[in-house]
Amino acid sequence: MFTTTSSARFAGGAWPVGYERRRLIALWHQAAARATDEQRPVLVCYTIAVQPRDALQVWSTFTRLHLGDCCFWELPDQGSALVGLGVVTANETTGQERFAEATAAWRTLCQRAVIGSEDSVDKNSGPVLVGGFAFDALPEQTALWEGFPEGLLILPRLLYQQRAQKASLTISALLEPGCDVETHAQEAESLLARLRTHESNTEQRAGVEHEAGAKGQGRLVARDIQPPEEWQRTIAHAVEAIRGGAYEKVVLARSVEVTQPEAPFEIEETLTRLRESYSGAYVFAFQRGGRYFVGATPERLIYARDGQLRTMALAGSYPRGATEEEDQRLGAELLSSAKNRQEHEFVVSLIRTALADLCSKVWVADAPHLLRLKNIQHLETPIFGELLPGRSVLEALEVLHPTPAVGGLPRQAALEAIRAHEQLDRGWYAGPVGWVDAQGNGEFAVALRSALVEGNKATLFAGCGIVAGSNPEGEYAESCWKLQVMLRGLGGEDCEIAK
């Protein structure tokens, strides 16, 4: 299949995958020798430059290779994406120390790793962990979130990365002491060969399958898991507790079960709808067997690159208007709303304080602006920092999560109230999802506007920030606006929630 010259190239095909075969073989031998010398597994990674592809087409190709779970992460309007296939190693952590344990395990693995690339590859490409963390590590996990532990960061066997107009593929393996290195190297080459074949076939089938998927979309049936009146009573009790001084703010969530009786949900179709409707959001999907956690969240928790950190405060919500005039009016009301501005300032203050020990400098924008999405708008304030030397994006997660936007204030009192009264296993909903590379750079978003999908059933989540001025009926209406993101993503433009 491949020549023994210094460069093996696919002839023809829509996506030629090329690599320097001798360099790949040399890297695998180097890693195997190190594993034997140190008597412990050694990670080996090789990154090659490829022509950019549509991220969803890469997802389609990867899923058809049937080599394990896939993951998808994209910022559509920025042209950046990560698509992963298979599992080389899974960094699973539990408890309150899960962020610190994940940081230490990844650093240890990278220190011994053998990492190489083509000369033309962008310096920021290479091995990446992708995954997420549960909102709260203390409550016992229910069967709903089986396969999605409190912390899970996966190194994909094959990873497609794209930034702007540059793209790469990273193939990785974990070599044990005394392993058959020739067999492992042949497996790597075989995977690249299969990729090209399936990519060409995927292109030929894409139009037909997309049309078939659209025609096969059935009606959706949605129902509240917790009766609306009961959830609103919980909100009313929280308002009383806030007015009594128990805490300043608490975020309470609800869930909705959506079924499609005629057919299972197609994740690729859902991702297509989400990226088209919410191109400014983080569109993501994480597969665990036959289950998918999928969504489109507007809230960045943190981005870190070369010591520069970016985050934001996102809190306070209003619906979008049906007309330009109504939209402007609602936006002005949100900016001047005392309840929403108070909620927003809670978030800004806590983030600034949390970053003080992690950064040498922190800057906060003077005032919030409107972040407008398809059916909802939020108050947003950008925040910047300079990370102290040697600090990782995972360490920033530990001090930032959960922000008051998804937990409350003070943090501990709000978390205790959520555990006691919410009656919901949040799992990864409202937790950090994203990626981290070998240099400690990375990006994590808060998993809002999301659903857990299995077959023809999906569980959707939405939460609201409760403060002293909250109204239970108004909070329920706000949660319904937020649920519309995933209802539309699943194909339910006209779907109403049964009460």
- The residues that are catalytic are 249, 299
Integer Cα distance of 228 and 254 in angstroms: 9
Of 177, 260, 198, 208, the closest CA to residue 15 belongs to 198
Integer Cα distance of 40 and 58 in angstroms: 33
Burial class (CB in 10 A: 0-12, 13-18, 19+), 281: buried
Q: How far is CA 486 from the centre of its chain?
A: 15
Q: State both tokens at 432.
A: 């950090």
Contact 46, 170 (CB under 8 A): yes
In the beta sheet, which residues pair with residue 93?
151
Residue type, 318: Y
**Cβ atoms within 10 Å of 203's Cβ, excluding its own:** 16
Residue type, 72: F
Measured in degrees and rounded to the nearest 5, phi and psi for residue 458 equal -135, 140
Q: Please name the residues in contact with 108: beta carbons below 8 A apart, sequence gap of 6 or more.
A: none
In the beta sheet, which residues pair with residue 82?
73, 161
Distances (CA, A) of 355 to 164, 231, 360, 361, 403: 29, 34, 9, 9, 12
**Cβ atoms within 10 Å of 110's Cβ, excluding its own:** 18
Of 82, 109, 104, the closest CA to residue 174 belongs to 109
Integer Cα distance of 97 and 10 in angstroms: 46
Distances (CA, A) of 238 to 29, 247, 255, 476: 61, 9, 18, 14
Integer Cα distance of 212 and 110 in angstroms: 44
Q: What is the CA radius of gyration of the chain?
A: 23
Strand 114-117 and strand 42-50: pairing?
Answer: parallel
End-to-end CA distance of the chain: 60
